[in-house]
Structure 1
Amino acid sequence: MATASSKWKITDIPDQTGRTVVVTGANSGLGLATVEALAGAGAHVVLTARDVKRGEAAAATVPGSVEVRRLDLADLASVREFAAGWHGDLDVLINNAGVMNIPKPTLTKDGFEMQFGTNHLGHFALTNLLLPHITDRVVTVSSGAHKAPGSPRIHFDNRNLTGEYAPMKAYSQSKLANLLFTLELHRRLTEAGSPVCALAAHPGAAKSNLSRHSMQDSRVLMRVGSRLAQWLLAQETQAGALPTLYAAVEDLPGASYVGPDGFGEFRGAPTLVGRSKAASDPTTARRLWTVSEELTGTAFPEQALTARA
């Protein structure tokens, strides 16, 4: 396993020849950088996008083995269609897609608050449906926003934040959910005797057109309120993808959380980082899992995984 002191970089990715990886929301930004790195290391990468034409345009810029499949995480019917169309083994699922700071309350096609529905519930359903095919690991991209000012929590009695919606409040809830999901997924995989590993990562501050990866995630920017600070502290897109890539290919403990090793976790080499107390609570993680199963109509495929183990 590489260490922070070795300043892990893209060229440290082991040969990925023969491996298949799915990266959600990968037609631009950090997702596309992740696809480029893994395809460049020899993996066959499936790039998912809501707009297939945009996805194909992005894939055309990537050397290596890349294909595009449609997936809209804000529509559970689309999630089920994608999963039903998957055949054969899948080495790594990277839950990268997401939305951030939607100005006004907006609902998914299934009636969920858009950020919670896309960032958490869509990936929750996708992961459960694909788990019988996954052989190595699930990496879910979270954010420093999970510990933003105001002590983010899961609003179990008002998940859509009706009457109390605020863009960052909703985003922080969804990113906290990503970490709780990873925690409980790891517990369930371990209990089922599965070799599959669940991990999480965050990009720090990256110069990406995906607004959810902006410095708005950080307490510092909220206090400084400076766009200049964002660009001074932010790292390039390829560097922002490093924590996700590190989590996708290195030998790490289950439920690990990877982020940059620099000041405030804004930038730097990937390393294991801490999470908030709320994101480490197994009781909340189990409750969220139960609620998510009810909302998505999907469940942990314990029988299939136990049989496979």
Structure 2
Amino acid sequence: MTKKFVSGGLGSSEFWAMVNGLWPGKPQFTESDYPKLDGKVVIVTGATAGFGYETKDAIKRLELEIAKEFGKTNLNVDHVLVDFAVLTTIKPAAEEFLKKESRLDIIIHNAGVMNAPDGSVTKQGFELHIGTNNLGPHLLEKFLDPIIIKTSQTNKPGGTRIVWVSSFTHYFSSKGGLFYSNPNFRNTKAVSAYKYGQSKAISILQAKGWNSAHPGGSNIISVSLCPGFLHTELTRHSSAFEQYMASIMTYHVRNGAYTELFAAFSPGLSSGDHIESFGRLTKAREDLEDPVAISKAWDYLDSNVASYICLNMSVSKTLN
């Protein structure tokens, strides 16, 4: 039986969010405003392309300036290979990181896919957007929760952060964020924007739900963001016409880095905040603020990654 997907729809607040996305103004929080990061450890997922690369590059340049100022040369930029569409690659990647580092100050869940061809699934059979954009990061965060909570106990309040990259397209998700009757959109006619939009609504729910699920992480700020309307490699699955329209309606990826780094470094943020381009507090869709919707989404994610955490004890031992 074919199930019908119904989007949450667009209203006046969504209209103005689109207007702000098309004409966001210049970034007000840039390199000169960032705090010193000496001794800090930052993870940016998906940092090989797009605004993830720009974010990593901005952090790297900031560290080089610090090294030059203090005569230090201890900057270390490392890479760990992980495929978020293959859940079995995530634990080895987390363990590799934990062998190298004894702290984690900031993680930016930036990696993702958009407009994947109809029928695309992960190695484990999940619809590709929800699998790559949500389940993969959720599982990675499970393995890294102990180290980031431990690090937060040595940092000032707000100095430890978890950033979840969402999108304006969260407005295209069903009410409550997930199409619970068929979250993998099997045998359902739904355009790619709805699938991507669902994954980005879930990112907001992850940001809002993390602290409730982790009482020991009260010193950690978990936020979500829409990086802005950017011309990135995420459009590689789009049609030639869609790519052309994106090229004339979007901004350079460097601006997305400014949004991410505002979320990672800007003072005055609180857990659950949502940020839009290019560094401005805003509100996500109202139904995604509902504690019931947040808890329900968190339980869904937990239940779908649970079988991939069986060796979590080896990660915990690394922290002792």
C-alpha separation between the residues in 2 aligned to 1:208 and 1:140? Answer: 18
* 1:19 paired residue among 40, 51, 72: 40
Asked whether 1:102 is paired with 2:102, we answer no
Q: Distance in 1 between matches of 2:297 and 2:173?
A: 22
Residue 169 of structure 1 corresponds to 194
Structure 2 counterpart of 1:112? 126
Cα distance, 1:193–1:117 mapped onto 2, change above 3 Å = closer
Displacement, 1:229? 5.6
SS in 1 for 2:63: coil
Is residue 252 of structure 2 the alignment partner of residue 236 of structure 1? yes
Whole-angstrom CA distance in 2 between matches of 1:6 and 1:203: 11
Return the TM-score normalized by structure 1. Answer: 0.77
TM-score by length of 2: 0.74
- Once the two structures are TM-superposed, the CA of residue 234 in structure 1 deviates from its matched residue by 1.8
Give yes or no for contact 2:80–2:97 (8 Å, CA) kept in 1.
no
- Residue range with higher mean Cα deviation, 64-73 or 238-247: 64-73
SS of structure 2 residue aligned to 1:278: helix
| CA distance, structure 2, for counterparts of residue 186 and residue 144 of structure 1 | 23
Once the two structures are TM-superposed, the CA of residue 227 in structure 1 deviates from its matched residue by: 6.2
Q: Mark the CA change 1:81 to 1:150 in structure 2 (over 3 Å): closer, same or farther.
A: closer
Name the aligned partner's letter for residue 26 of structure 1. A
Q: 1:114 to 1:282 in 2, by over 3 A?
A: same
Contact 2:44 2:107 (8 Å CA) reproduced: yes
Q: What's 1:180 paired with? A: 205
Q: 2:172 aligns with which of 141, 148, 158?
A: 148
8 Å CA contact 2:40, 2:105 repeated in 1:
yes
2:104 to 87, 90, 104: 90
Go from structure 1 to structure 2 and tell me whether the alpha carbon gap of 1:282 and 1:22 turns closer, same or farther (over 3 Å shift): same
Which structure 2 residues correspond to residues 66-81 of structure 1 after superposition, within 5 A? Answer: 66-81=77-92
Identity, % of aligned positions = 28
Cα distance in 2 between the residues matched to 1:195 and 1:287: 24
Shift of residue 239 of structure 1?
1.2
Matched with 2:144 is: 130
Match among 219, 226, 229 for residue 205 of structure 1: 229
Query: How far did 1:173 drift?
Result: 0.5
Whether contact under 8 Å (2:227, 2:259) holds in the other structure is: yes
User: Counterpart of 1:58?
Assistant: none
The structure in which a higher percent of residues are strand is 1
SS of residue paired to 1:86:
helix
Tell me the alpha carbon deviations over residues 109-154 of structure 1, each in whole angstroms, 9 at most, x when there is no partner. Answer: 1111110000011111111110111131110100000013876830
User: Once structures 1 and 2 are overlaid, which stretch shifts more, 26-35 or 227-236?
Assistant: 227-236
Alignment partner of 1:255 is 2:272? yes
Task: Supply the distance in 2 between the matched residues of 1:230 and 1:208 (Cα, whole angstroms).
Answer: 9
Contact kept in structure 2, 1:115 and 1:170, CA below 8 Å? yes
1:278 alignment partner, one of 270, 277, 287? 287
In 2, the alpha carbon distance for the partners of 1:179 and 1:293 equals 16
The verdict on how the C-alpha distance between 1:6 and 1:104 changes in structure 2, with shifts beyond 3 A counting, is closer
**Which residue does 1:160 correspond to in 2?**
184
In angstroms, what is the RMSD of aligned CA positions? 2.9
Tell me what 1:56 maps to. Answer: none
- 1:200 match: secondary structure: strand
Q: Are residues 244 and 90 of structure 1, via their aligned partners in 2, closer, same or farther at CA, if it must alter by over 3 Å?
A: same
Distance (whole Å) between structure 1 residues aligned to residue 254 and residue 217 of structure 2: 35
Deviation at 1:295, TM superposition (A): 0.7
1:221 aligns with none
Secondary structure in 2 aligned to 1:90? coil
Q: Which runs of 5+ in 1 are unaligned?
A: 44-63, 217-224, 261-268
CA distance in structure 1 between the partners assigned to 2:285 and 2:173 by the alignment = 11
